Amino acid sequence: MQLQALQDLVHKTRDARRAQTLSKFPPSERDALIKKYHPDHRENAYRPITFGPNAGEKTVRELAALLEGDSPVSADADLTPAYSTDVLVVGGGGAGCAAALHAHAHGAKVLLATKLRLGDSNTVMAQGGIQIAITNEDSPVQHFLDTLKGGHMKNDHQLLKTMVEEGPSIAKWLLDLGVLFDRDADGNLHVKKGGGSSRPRLLTCSDYTGLEIMRVLKDEVLNQKIQLLEFSAAVELLSDGQGNCTGAILQDLDNKRYLVVAAKTVILATGGIGRLHIQGFPTSNHYGATGDALPMSYRIGAKLLQIDTFQYHPTGAVYPEQLIGALVTEGIRSEGGHLVNAKGERFVNELDTRDVVSSSIIRECEEGRGVRTTTGRLGVWLDTPLLDVESGSGTLDKHFPAMVRQYKRYGLDITKDPVLIYPTLHYQNGGVQIDVNGESGVRNLFVAGEASGGLHGRNRLMGNSLLDLMVYGKRSGSTAAERAKSMQHGKLTLEHLKRFRSEAKKHAGSLEAHSPMLFPDYVRKEG
């Protein structure tokens, strides 16, 4: 059947679908679905890590190679510091900016180094909102329970408890900084219900929540006495020979020279690994999302947690080709948008958890009920015009202006016709193991945001990533700054790297590649 005819089928079946109520899958059916169709359960995509703190544990092959990869820094590198600071923050996204601001507020001298420009991050791409329990009908306890259930009960309870309890204070902090969250007609904060949540608790800024938060954080960083190094990528950590982190080596991307930073404390906020394109999936992540914190932390001795689980956002664009991997915000499903297969049928409760919805879409496509695009890709329909039918003309334009504009650039009007979607690699569920202050198992090394692990368990609820960034950016920044007040700078050595290389040599095939990767391998090479 032609694509236009399949599109027409969505319109023809809309009234019948509106009369339907789809229940969420019972636990046994949900678990069986995920095990059969979710990419986390493709055994051939995984292998054991051969050495280091996580030796014997499985992760995706792409990440295993980076963890076992060699540093680009030579053993005899000159470690004369170019900069000296109390707190070094690596990463210029939401977590990094929050960490830098809170460290500065606690009186620390702060240097923020970012691989690209300040703000270039996954944070600016977060559309769906930030989950915070602020209404009388909600509570941090209910937020805790929803997140625990969504994470398949594998969440670190203390990390989760801390996040949900500090949510309301984060909302106040962001409002005080000037974040323009949506409000209702009476001027009260407007909250929406997200997938996997039992209560409406999403604070939004239309469909550009992350962009709005990042706008405010960037301005605040630039207005404070925070030293900023852009286009400066961290490539190796420094230690004192006793296992404590004492700084980092940056690479100035303009001239390729190394810059040594002596720091009393280091906060890594470099984001996830979407641009590794694990299992060949497209990704919603920005170009710098190559998981830089993971190999650097691993080499210095930090334990990683839950690095065998990743989130695939259910609704990544699959047509037109120019938008492959770009997110179609979950907010559209939150407001009633249907997922529809090639037969014009709904097949899943659209507000089930992301792993369930993604697995359901993959099942439809693998079992022959997907829609094939003109370029041969498979997907299912997201019935976007339904929102205007249900809530009145102009709803999409008002609530999702960025999405409407994004598609109009390519001659598609999502207010009139449905869009084709398929799961896209979106989030790294695991990462460096941290405590409630964001500190790793390596003293004076803190990790915040997507690079950390344990909080979300085996599946993240929408909207929790932005809250994670703010809470653990705050806690790592505050703790690192207070720690620095009572410390002297430690010795700068690469002893941990020497030990890592010595161990790697015992394992054939190790050290074949350099890590961190910094940029995906399809980025245009110089020369």
The whole-model pTM stands at: 0.93
- Mean residue pLDDT of the chain comes to 95
Chain centre to alpha carbon of residue 138? 25
pLDDT tens per residue across span 1-30: 688 888 999 999 999 999 999 999 999 999
Specify the domain boundaries for CATH 3.50.50.60 within the chain: 83-309+429-499
Burial of 24 (0-12, 13-18, 19+ CB in 10 A): middle
Burial class (CB in 10 A: 0-12, 13-18, 19+), 185: exposed
Rounded to an integer, the average pLDDT of 368-384 is 95
| pLDDT tens-digit map of 31-48 | 999 999 999 999 999 999
Select from 2.70.150.10, 3.50.50.60, 3.90.700.10, 1.10.260.40 the CATH code of 3-37+311-425: 3.90.700.10
Confidence of residue 524 (pLDDT cuts 50, 70, 90): low
Nearest to 434 by CA among 421, 413, 419, 449: 449
Is residue 74 classed as helix, strand or coil in its secondary structure?
coil
Contact 131, 163 (CB under 8 A): no
Residue 421 near residue 315, CB atoms below 8 Å? yes
Distance of alpha carbon 156 from alpha carbon 153, whole angstroms = 9
Residues 223-282 pLDDT 10s:
998 999 999 999 999 999 899 999 999 999 999 999 999 999 999 999 999 999 999 999
Tokens (6 digits) for 466: 């932005």
Q: Residues with catalytic annotation?
A: 313, 333
Distance of alpha carbon 369 from alpha carbon 365, whole angstroms: 5
Q: In what order do the strands lie in the sheet with 431-433?
A: 304-305, 431-433, 452-453
pLDDT of amino acid 330: 85
- Whether the ω angle into residue 282 lies within 30 degrees of 0, i.e. cis, is no
pLDDT of residue 68: 95
List the one residue out of 170, 453, 436, 167 whose CA is nearest residue 311.
Answer: 453
Give the CATH number of domain 83-309+429-499; options: 3.50.50.60, 3.40.50.620, 3.60.130.10, 3.40.1410.10.
3.50.50.60
Residues of the chain within CATH 3.90.700.10 domain(s) are: 3-37+311-425
